[in-house]
Amino acid sequence: MPIELPRQQRTGQPKPTWLKVRAPGSPEFLETKDVVKSLKLHTVCEEARCPNIGECWSHRTATFMIMGDLCTRRCHFCSVKKGDSETLSPLDPFEPDRVGIAVRDLGLKHVVITSVDRDDVADNGALHFAKTVRAIHTHSPQCKIELLIPDLRGEQRDLRTILDSRVDVLNHNIETVPRLYKKVRPYAGYIRSLSILSMAKEIDPNVLTKSGIMVGLGETHEEVLRVMDDMRYHGIDIMTIGQYLRPSEKQLPVRAYVTPEEFKSYEVEGIKRGFKFIESGPLVRSSYHAWKHTVEQPV
């Protein structure tokens, strides 16, 4: 069962021992950092303050964040900086090729590309995603490509633009249960997010679809199971479940720390429901162990 936090302790509370991670600093981590910095790229690992940055960068894997570091949405769980008409910059036409070079220089076999939301761009950034995928194909033809995309405001045309570039995994995170959407994702929609992944299967039945949620925001166990059922109904192949960790005092407080035992129970329930892969654990994020998710798993 989750460790529920008393209301007066929902800020500044100590984390359970299972959430402790070592500070990064391996040679591989430092090399990855140098490549990212030298090519003037952004990573969601840094922008979202991911606890797994040390492990992933030490394995020379990173989730690149394209289209800048300012987001047009106002999600209340996220620490990515917010942008508006006065602060947003045009998309960098040379960024896709720089990402391709970084993937080549790091020798990646599986790369995850995500982005901020850019609702100010006519195609929601779809062509920029496609150009990035094609640049990776050019520089690293053997690398598998996973995209973690925004909801594209539900535009099927933009989704088709992305899928036509040939991706291996298409990920879009549901993030939380429907009841908490207004509180957690006030400018997004639960049905819209499910529909994007459902449409992806209609456009390309061979693409692996993936989604993830955070727990510890006040959801119930039964609500998580219902989200699983909704995902499977819409043909989603892979699911990730991780603990919500408050990036700073500006974001929503943690309502509960979910125990490793309950994460394991979610994994069991996901396998029962037929997911091809389910990654469930306190430190899991949508790109955590992403390279494993393209391997067929026994169910």
Indicate which CATH number applies to the domain containing 156: 3.20.20.70
Is residue 51 one of the residues assigned to a domain? Answer: yes
pTM for the full model? 0.85
In a domain, 104, yes or no: yes
Whether 280 is in a domain gets the answer yes
Question: Is 50 exceeded by the pLDDT of residue 10?
Answer: no
Domain membership flag for residue 92: yes
Residue 242 binned pLDDT confidence (cut-offs 50, 70, 90): very high
pLDDT at 18: 79
Q: Given this model, what pLDDT does residue 47 score? A: 55
Q: Which amino acid is at 233?
A: Y
Containing structural domain, residue 236: 22-294
Whether residue 224 lies inside any domain: the answer is yes
The reply to whether 63 falls in a domain is yes
Residue 9 lies in a domain: no
The domain total for the chain is: 1
Provide the pLDDT for residue 110. Answer: 86
**Domain contains 188:** yes
Q: Would the pLDDT of 17 be above 60?
A: yes
Q: pLDDT (tens digit, 9 = 90+) per residue, 103-134? A: 998 888 889 999 989 999 999 999 999 999 99
